Structure 1
Amino acid sequence: MAVLALAATACKKNGIDKGFSPRGTFAGPYVDTVVLPLTITADRFLSNDTLYVLDGKTYVTNNATLIFEEGTHVEAVKKSTNDSASALIVTRGAQIFAAGTPSDPIVFTSHQATPAAGDWGGIVLLGNAPLNRADATIEGINLPSVPAGVDVNYGGGGAGLGDANHSSGQLEYVIIEYAGAAIATDNELNGLTLGGVGAGTILNHIEVAYGNDDAFEFFGGTVNASYLFALAPDDDAFDFDFGYSGHIQYALSVLDAGENYSANPNGIESDNNATGAADEPRTRAIISNMTVIGVETSSQAATLGLLNGAQFRRHSSYEVRNSIFMGFPTGLQLASSGSQADIANFNHNLVHGFSAVINPSTLTLPGSNGQYVSSNANTDVLLADPFNGDFRPLSASPALSLTTDYVGLPSEFETPAYRGAFGPYVANDATANNWLAGWAKLNY
């Protein structure tokens, strides 16, 4: 994958060896190396002159606040068994404030000399915003290993109950690499797991790269997010469940044709719940200006077993506008009558499929969508160089020439005159209209 931009290093100091040596793109040397404890029960500040190590799971509890200085670097130890995988878990009532900057993002990565997807668990935020089910225990955690007195449930006290405006803190300019350790099939941690997280939480400019499960998973809650980047997730890029009802604008997912993927890889996967019941509140992500990119050719997609640019099933609702889906066998899969009933909410997008724009074939997309079937994903969509790191539309792209629609969307949404996550390509200027520039990482 070609380079668009690299974030700057954190402050460099004289290093002290305490048994862990820094590894990673932005690694030290540092004035100290600190292994984070099993539980953090009081407010704590992490500085960028110290390398922090997750050696197992660290739980932030007791309404404590964990604050990261911009440019802070955290490395997670790969454990001998996945059920003991390293992870950072912020429990209900506790908060995390990790506000990096374009020049000094906060980085969570593997401690392995040769890192790989699934080396560690990831970051988990648990809140008390509403779900469409009773409070749940977050997946991917082996309950017998949880310390006594630590609550790993999420939700607001019952179906539809809770504080929709609850805050779990802030993640801005954060990179999460090589996460997604799995306890068992369908019981994995994700790069960023959000359980019942409320709209008071700030999430923007977050990259999840080369994870072993989903990049971003939203279990219920109402949190809004922007400028999300999923790079080569093994499973889904954006996964919505249990009544999630937040807003997402400016998001990108792109695969790496040199990797292998799960048996069910999608750009978006959205379920109301595991059984497909029409429980309330229904899962209904409101999305605008998202770009989901699979691979360049139909033969690559067949080899990798890719499925859908977006899949809504099990009674999930949705509102998707002004977005681009390309490089998958099927652009849009609607796998239940409950989800098919909302097809009018999928409009003013560009939808490419190697085999089909939409399944089942008895359905028809609204006419406001650009629809393309071809063996090369970019033949009609015309992005600048989407398989080498430039996702901006060329001047002839329908992303620029076709109309957009923001009528009726929540007031938080901006109204750019283009479809997809990026504005128009500018020759000889890699930073113009490119919100990845200066902080995100594409070269692995």
Structure 2
Amino acid sequence: MSFPLRKTALALALSSASLACAAQVVVNDGLDGNWFAPNAGGRGVSVDAIANEDGSSRIYGVVFTYDTAGKPLWLTMLGDVPAGQSVVDGVPVLRFEGGRFDSANPAPTSTVVGTASIDVSSCKAISLTFDMNADSGLPDATLDVAPAQVNVGYAANPLCAAAPVLAACPTGTTAEGADCLLPNSITGNLYLPAGKKYLVRGAVIVEGGGTLTVAPGVTVQGHSDISVANFIGVKQDGRIYADGTPTRPIVFTGPTPEVGSWGGLHIAGRSTCNDYVSAAEPCRFEAYPDMAFGGGKLDDSSGVLRYVRIEWAGVPIRPNEELNSLTLLGVGAGTVLDHVQVDGGKDDGFEFFGGNVNGSHLVCSNMGDDCFDFDDGYHGKLQFLLAWQGDNTDIGSDSNGIESDNSKDSPDIQPRTQPQISNITLLGSSTFPNKHGLRIRRGSGGNYANLVVHGFTDRCLALDDAATFALGTASGQGAALSMTHSFVGQCGGGAFDDSANDPYLVSAWFNATGAGNQSGDPKLNGFLPAAGSPLLQGGKSLADPFFRPVSYRGAFAGAHDDWTAGWTVHLPR
């Protein structure tokens, strides 16, 4: 067997489209056996798959072939497939040579000669994409194979499971081709089971008293008609329950994989916001004033977002007024925000206007503007956050990892913006211009621990405005503004936005005695700390029962603590 030449970028194999398809197949014993390429002379691979209890799996492949000189060649692959997916890339390809059939000596030797991407796209199709090392003597190649016998790889085999397909759209939705169109007003209980794609055309509003429940594995997509802004809004006293799983995340996405192809998800609650006057004069969402928010109900619940991806969102409504990927408007601590990714958005990723919703394991990637934006008195608690400000054509010169404001016109208005954040990694883009890793301004406070910031175009850390500086001191950090056990890396404009015109230097505030902060080279491999990284020690979480006590800095304990694996997209692997 010889490989057809095909140069490829393996990272592109993990597009959101391929992941959505891959999540439909359960990788386990139902795939065991021999697979062949019917259009390539019967070339093939022997497959053995084993499912683990946590939903992940291990897939082993053996190929007997010939090299370019006609010499027999054995290649093997062993890859770990994340829970909920059936695509894995970067799998080492080993070449075995030597050894004798009738003797243990000499033992065969193995050499890594490249990597492979294994994509089980259905119960009847596996694609192998080989990226061979330059010194292997082998070209890159792609092999698309089907099962060689009827008892392998077919949907009739209960071990090879595909997602269910609904015969009809659920009550409350309208059929549009094979998909189901959501109503523009949800006043009762609307349940979206798996087996259909659900479309958002115009403003889909969950009214007060209404509930939208989305089953694990479901895709909710903005409509292809973009003459109006297509988005989901949840008003006060409305609820959304999008409770996915590691193996079947829930995806809110656009009609095309393009920045800003739909309007995103926006939730209003009855917690605090510092522009609130009364029920008759509440805070209002600038991009959609019909969504009022605020009050004083700190334990207010707007539902659950767990194992959720929000992709390609963000639509400008008016100048400086946008629908972001996920907007949280006065959302209370009774709401669950856990394992949520926003990716490829046009404006901000997570925007918090007031409220005190808590969250953990949040990922913002490839965002056009700020990844985490805090305004209007937000004072929730967040732990284990990643901002990967990678590739996005909308990234501009004012795109920050974190932008935290209290109020432009009344910087000391109460309640003050003061998030409490532990274990966050902020990484800037090396491709597009951006701004600061962390910018705190306009009277905002904040308590940060175990923060890591690195790779932004301008400064890593900036404090702006007298009202902000008043919350800290040069010799010690204040109760409302602190940063401890954190690490500032290397940014294009320098680590700190120091100015002799400010009340004190940002670097002095960061390096205050007893703060436990450091700066230098964080030694990262992508977003994970590499061996010998200073981030692997020196951490200490904020002293609050919400925060898990850890001894490392940043969002990850080490190279093997990639909690983003399996349910996120478009991150470096």
Question: What interval of TM-score do these two structures reach, taking the shorter chain for normalisation?
Answer: 0.7 to 0.9
Are residues 370 and 276 of structure 1, via their aligned partners in 2, closer, same or farther at CA, if it must alter by over 3 Å? farther
1:270 maps to which of 387, 401, 404: 404
Structure 2 length as normaliser, TM-score? 0.65
Give the C-alpha shift of residue 277 in structure 1.
Answer: 2.2
Matched, 1:369 2:512: no
Q: State how far apart, in whole Å, the 1-side matches of 2:343 and 2:484 are.
A: 29
Gaps of 5+ in 2: 1-10, 25-162, 277-281
Equivalence for 2:236? 92
Q: State how far apart, in whole Å, the 1-side matches of 2:224 and 2:347 are.
A: 16
Q: For residue 437 of structure 2, give the secondary structure of its aligned residue in structure 1.
A: strand
Q: For residue 256 of structure 1, give the secondary structure of its aligned residue in structure 2.
A: coil
Are residues 15 and 91 of structure 1, via their aligned partners in 2, closer, same or farther at CA, if it must alter by over 3 Å? same
Give the C-alpha shift of residue 79 in structure 1.
Answer: 4.2
Equivalence for 1:27? none
Query: How do residues 8-407 of structure 1 correspond to structure 2 at under 5 angstroms?
Result: 9-10=23-24, 11-13=163-165, 33-81=179-227, 84-112=228-256, 115-134=257-276, 135-141=282-288, 151-156=290-295, 162-257=296-391, 259-296=393-430, 300=431, 304-328=432-456, 329-343=458-472, 344=477, 345-352=482-489, 353-362=491-500, 363=505, 364=508, 365-367=510-512, 368-372=516-520, 380-384=521-525, 386=526, 391-401=527-537, 403-406=538-541
Q: State how far apart, in whole Å, the 1-side matches of 2:547 and 2:313 are.
A: 30
Q: State how far apart, in whole Å, the 1-side matches of 2:387 and 2:348 are.
A: 11
Q: For residue 228 of structure 1, give the secondary structure of its aligned residue in structure 2.
A: strand
Give the C-alpha shift of residue 66 in structure 1.
Answer: 1.1
Q: State how far apart, in whole Å, the 1-side matches of 2:391 and 2:188 are.
A: 44
Q: For residue 467 of structure 2, give the secondary structure of its aligned residue in structure 1.
A: helix
Q: State how far apart, in whole Å, the 2-side matches of 1:170 and 1:105 are.
A: 13
RMSD between aligned residues: 2.3
Letter matched to residue 254 of structure 1: W
The superposition leaves residues 280-306 of structure 1 with CA deviations (integer Å, 9 ceiling, x where unpaired) of 11000111100010034xxx5xxx331
Larger Rg: 2
Native 8 Å contact 1:292 1:309 kept in 2: yes
Q: State how far apart, in whole Å, the 1-side matches of 2:533 and 2:246 are.
A: 29
Letter matched to residue 323 of structure 1: L
Native 8 Å contact 2:285 2:293 kept in 1: yes
The superposition leaves residues 126-149 of structure 1 with CA deviations (integer Å, 9 ceiling, x where unpaired) of 0010111122221222x5xxxxxx
Q: For residue 381 of structure 1, give the secondary structure of its aligned residue in structure 2.
A: coil
Q: State how far apart, in whole Å, the 2-side matches of 1:198 and 1:258 are.
A: 31
Give the C-alpha shift of residue 341 in structure 1.
Answer: 3.3
Give the C-alpha shift of residue 340 in structure 1.
Answer: 2.1
Q: For residue 13 of structure 1, give the secondary structure of its aligned residue in structure 2.
A: coil
Percent identity, please.
35
Letter matched to residue 366 of structure 1: N
Q: For residue 179 of structure 2, give the secondary structure of its aligned residue in structure 1.
A: strand
Segment drifting more, 49-58 vs 3-12: 3-12
4+ residue runs over 3 A deviation = 1-8, 14-21, 78-81, 257-260
Higher RCO (CA 8 Å, separation ≥ 6 residues): 1
The superposition leaves residues 315-359 of structure 1 with CA deviations (integer Å, 9 ceiling, x where unpaired) of 000111101101112011101122223452012111122222121
Q: State how far apart, in whole Å, the 2-side matches of 1:4 and 1:319 are.
A: 36
Gaps of 5+ in 1: 22-31, 144-150, 157-161, 373-379, 426-431
Give the C-alpha shift of residue 78 in structure 1.
Answer: 4.4
Q: State how far apart, in whole Å, the 2-side matches of 1:381 and 1:20 are.
A: 51
Native 8 Å contact 2:539 2:552 kept in 1: yes
Native 8 Å contact 1:169 1:202 kept in 2: yes
Native 8 Å contact 2:344 2:392 kept in 1: no
Give the C-alpha shift of residue 406 in structure 1.
Answer: 2.5
Give the C-alpha shift of residue 263 in structure 1.
Answer: 3.8
Native 8 Å contact 2:166 2:194 kept in 1: no
Give the C-alpha shift of residue 86 in structure 1.
Answer: 0.5
Q: State how far apart, in whole Å, the 1-side matches of 2:518 and 2:294 are.
A: 38
The superposition leaves residues 33-74 of structure 1 with CA deviations (integer Å, 9 ceiling, x where unpaired) of 210011000011110112110011100013111111111111
Structure 1 length as normaliser, TM-score? 0.83
Q: State how far apart, in whole Å, the 2-side matches of 1:14 and 1:64 are.
A: 24
Native 8 Å contact 2:347 2:367 kept in 1: yes
Equivalence for 1:376? none
Native 8 Å contact 2:411 2:467 kept in 1: no
Q: State how far apart, in whole Å, the 2-side matches of 1:183 and 1:234 are.
A: 16
Q: State how far apart, in whole Å, the 2-side matches of 1:118 and 1:274 are.
A: 27
Native 8 Å contact 2:377 2:406 kept in 1: yes
Give the C-alpha shift of residue 307 in structure 1.
Answer: 0.9
Equivalence for 2:34? none
Q: State how far apart, in whole Å, the 1-side matches of 2:167 and 2:346 are.
A: 32
Q: State how far apart, in whole Å, the 1-side matches of 2:311 and 2:176 are.
A: 18
